[in-house]
Chain A
Amino acid sequence: MEFTDTQIQRYSRHIILPEVGGKGQKKLLGSKVLIVGAGGLGCPVGYYLAAAGVGTIGIVDDDLVEVSNLQRQIAHSTGAIGMPKVESAKRTFEALNPDVKVNAMKGRLTKDNIMDVMKDYDIVVDGSDNFPTRYLVNDACVLMRKPLVSGAILRFEGQVTTLIPHEGHCYRCLFETPPPPGLVPSCQEAGVLGVLPGVIGALEATEALKLILGRGEPLKNTLLIYNALTTSFRKVKVPRNPDCPVCGQNPTITELADYDAGYCQL
């Protein structure tokens, strides 16, 4: 493909970078990223990937926009209240950049549909707000060998890590099983500073862009923890677990299961 004059202007600050250039920008335009969740994390992730010119963005969520979302979910506006979040996000991202095609999927990922949804994408970015989805996405990415950028937030603290299946750790190497229902509070119960998902989502988007461009060092075997109150970033080494139930030498998880028994649907 050849860039149009508008594209040369739109992406000029990327093209100038030695690490991106015209070739890198064409990679971005040809890439396909699936975002799980159109909430606090999914909004900034999608916003920046759309601005960067990631050509195809899939986004899955089954919620409708509520007024209480607008303190942090920046792709949605007051006028979008009541609309499916994925439709609102699609409208925002495509308005930002007409080069981007957004596939809006209203629904929940389950063991029966996730592989079919994921198969068309190069990279998955997790911005889900619940453990059943988080573990399902991890297991599916390991089984399908898809890179996964995972982020999580609560109160004033957030985490980011990048999973390259069978090269680096997976989510289960870090936390083998989901916590029991009710042990870890949700944002609904515990609160979250509105800007926090912006920081973590921007980091997730950065990881995804690096993977597409093949530049820099992803957060492989590493968990990055951000504390907004102390303004500190901490990196924790996460080795692969040879006994990991999904990516270890003798995996016990060889097909997907749903884990949502007992969890509230947020």
Chain B
Amino acid sequence: MREEERPAKKLDIKGLVCPYTFVKAKLAIEDMEVGEVLEIVLDYPEAVNNIPKSMQDHGQKVLKVDKTGEKEWVIVVRKEKE
């Protein structure tokens, strides 16, 4: 993992469905500093598309979206905007 992708916070939202997946992710990123990275682990397929899109709409930078298991994904987002 490159240095600029090292997460300051990890959020496990497995078991949650939309819209709470994004709500939880947004609350987590609100509490972070600009430039910090959030790693989100989730298992709800729809949110794999929705969270990155919503994060971008809110001005944040999506660094990567990885499938890490049969039904598990990791999204890495850098906070760009308060």
Contact = CB atoms under 8 A, between A and B. Distances in A.
Interface string A159-190: 00000000000000000000000000000000
A18 B58 contact: yes
A9 interface: yes
A29 to B, nearest CB: 14
A16 B19 contact: yes
B1 interface: no
Nearest to A15: B23
Interface string B1-34: 0000000000000000001101110110011000
Nearest to A23: B30
B20 A3 contact: no
Counting contact residues on chain B (CB < 8 A from A), the size range is 10 to 19
A95 interface: no
Contacts of A23: 30
A248 interface: no
Contact of B27 (A3, A9, A13, A18): A3
Interface in B26-70: 26-27, 30-31, 54, 57-59
A5 to B, nearest CB: 9
Chief secondary structure at chain B's binding surface: helix
Counting contact residues on chain A (CB < 8 A from B), the size range is 10 to 19
A148 B57 CA distance: 34
Contact of B20 (A8, A18, A21): A8
B59 to A, nearest CB: 8
B61 to A, nearest CB: 15
A16 B26 contact: yes
Contacts of A9: 20
Interface of A: 3, 8-9, 12-13, 15-16, 18, 21-23
23 contacts: A3-B27, A8-B23, A8-B24, A9-B20, A12-B19, A12-B23, A13-B19, A15-B23, A15-B26, A15-B27, A16-B23, A16-B26, A16-B54, A18-B57, A18-B58, A18-B59, A21-B26, A21-B30, A22-B26, A22-B27, A22-B30, A22-B31, A23-B30
Given A8-B27, A15-B27, A22-B27, 9 more contacts: A3-B27, A8-B24, A12-B23, A13-B19, A15-B23, A15-B26, A18-B57, A18-B59, A22-B26
